[in-house]
């Protein structure tokens, strides 16, 4: 019953802008959970330690991957840069034993006359397992760096290093340990297209989250026939810079508080300092992002993000801003959390 009401509320919010500050106080859901800043995180698996890690996550190599992808230039949905990126990623993940599915669809946008072909990449590990989790990010870059004050800068090439691409590099590196990863669940890396194929500037009317919305709708449509169920999704966005403060985002807390407590609980235990058990960001405490379409179809989904990242949608969002150490810290938390997951 709660979910049905969420759908209505989230549906309304989705009409607004994405990866953007969202004024939740304007339209608060009735069943909003009070943010428990005084609640101590309780990890599910107190025995989980970094020592259990078999193959270490190599943050330096992850940054090399990040540079390799950014060197392709802008990767706007439907562009040559995006096609080159797809080719690179498919080869990479298949080479490491992942089963890659291209989820292709035609997307339209209010401001654009023509539809554009888009592709979500789904990289499956342990594809036979029915109980599955999602680790996700977006891999399209915004057509314009529209947080640049000088509009003449909007047309300059924007590589979006920490915005989306850091998630891609994170998953590329994590893939090295996935084939034999010690977890009881199936894992899908889902890399969304069309998160910000937006041409109307920061306050315009174009839609966000085209890829994650399509993915969520397909999942919902196949409800009666599919064999798998997603029990959790973790989204990575603007999370990999030096000094990142990964605070708890409002929608994640409202609709997936158990998952928040699980992940932040593991982080607390591992003393992963970038994960802060505190509410939101200075720019906004709630962020509309690719986790909302997933929540909308009943997948518990959280956003691991620092929305105060100063280079957001600016030309200065370049690979030098991304920290190998920060990528490694997030990997330690996520892999430890995944090792503690039980088969349902
Ligand atoms: Zn963005």
Rounded to the nearest angstrom, the distance between the alpha carbon of 19 and the centre of ligand 1 is 6
Rounded to the nearest angstrom, the distance between the alpha carbon of 147 and the centre of ligand 1 is 10
- Neighbour tally for 46: CB within 10 Å: 11
pLDDT profile of the chain (344 residues), mean per 10: 28 37 38 42 43 70 98 97 98 98 96 94 98 98 93 92 98 97 98 94 88 98 97 98 97 97 97 96 94 98 97 97 98 98 83
Rounded to the nearest angstrom, the distance between the alpha carbon of 116 and the centre of ligand 1 is 19
Tokens 């690179």 found at: 88
Rounded to the nearest angstrom, the distance between the alpha carbon of 44 and the centre of ligand 1 is 32
Per-residue model confidence (pLDDT) at position 162: 98
Rounded to the nearest angstrom, the distance between the alpha carbon of 162 and the centre of ligand 1 is 9
Per-residue model confidence (pLDDT) at position 55: 53
Per-residue model confidence (pLDDT) at position 290: 97
Q: Which residues of 302-325 are buried (b: 16+ CB within 10 A; e: fewer)?
A: bbbbbbebebbbbbebbbebbbbe
Rounded to the nearest angstrom, the distance between the alpha carbon of 56 and the centre of ligand 1 is 29
Rounded to the nearest angstrom, the distance between the alpha carbon of 180 and the centre of ligand 1 is 33
Rounded to the nearest angstrom, the distance between the alpha carbon of 142 and the centre of ligand 1 is 7
Tokens 């158990």 found at: 258
Q: Annotate 156-221 with DSSP letters as a single string.
A: S----IIIIIHHHHHHHHHGGGTTT---SSEEEEEEES-SS---S-TTS-----HHHHHHHHHHHH
| For the chain, domain boundaries | 2-339
Whole-angstrom distance, CA of residue 221 vs CA of residue 209 = 18
CATH of 2-339, one of 3.40.630.10, 3.10.310.30, 3.90.76.10, 3.40.50.720: 3.40.630.10
Each as own residue / partner, the long-range contacts of residues 156-159 (CB below 8 Å, 24 or more positions apart, any chain) are 156/315, 157/73, 157/74, 158/74, 158/313, 158/315, 158/317, 159/70, 159/73, 159/74, 159/317, 159/318, 159/319
Per-residue model confidence (pLDDT) at position 168: 98
- Beta strands per DSSP E along 238-308: 246-248, 275-279, 301-305
Whole-angstrom distance, CA of residue 338 vs CA of residue 333 = 9
């Amino acid at each position: 019953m709660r979910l049905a009401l969420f759908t209505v509320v989230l549906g309304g919010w989705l009409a607004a802008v994405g990866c953007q500050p969202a004024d939740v106080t304007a339209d608060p859901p009735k069943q909003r959970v009070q943010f428990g800043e005084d609640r101590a995180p309780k990890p599910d698996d107190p025995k989980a330690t970094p020592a259990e890690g078999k193959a270490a996550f190599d943050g330096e190599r992850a940054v090399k991957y990040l540079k390799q992808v950014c060197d392709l230039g802008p990767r706007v949905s439907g562009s040559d840069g995006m096609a080159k990126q797809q080719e690179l990623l498919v080869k990479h993940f298949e080479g490491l034993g992942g089963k890659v599915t291209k989820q292709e669809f035609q997307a339209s946008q209010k401001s654009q006359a023509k539809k554009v072909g888009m592709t979500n990449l789904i990289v499956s590990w342990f594809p036979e397992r029915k109980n599955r989790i999602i680790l996700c990010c977006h891999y399209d870059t915004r057509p314009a760096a529209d947080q640049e004050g000088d509009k003449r800068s909007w047309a300059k090439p924007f590589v979006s290093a920490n915005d989306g691409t850091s998630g891609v590099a994170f998953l590329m590196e994590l893939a090295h340990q996935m084939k034999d990863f010690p977890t009881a669940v199936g894992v899908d890396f889902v890399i969304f297209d069309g998160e910000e194929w937006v041409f109307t500037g920061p306050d315009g009317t174009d839609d966000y989250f085209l890829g994650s919305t399509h993915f969520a709708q397909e999942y919902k449509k196949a409800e009666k026939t599919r064999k798998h169920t997603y029990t959790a999704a973790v989204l990575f966005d603007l999370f990999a810079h030096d000094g990142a403060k990964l605070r708890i985002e409002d929608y994640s807390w409202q609709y997936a508080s158990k998952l928040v407590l699980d992940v932040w609980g593991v982080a607390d235990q591992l003393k992963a300092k970038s994960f802060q058990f505190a509410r939101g960001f200075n720019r906004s405490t709630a962020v509309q992002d690719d986790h909302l379409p997933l929540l909308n179809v009943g997948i518990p989904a959280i956003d691991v993000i620092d929305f105060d990242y100063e280079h957001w949608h600016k030309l200065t969002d370049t690979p030098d801003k991304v920290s190998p150490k920060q990528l490694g810290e997030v990997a330690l938390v996520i892999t430890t959390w995944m090792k503690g997951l039980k088969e349902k």
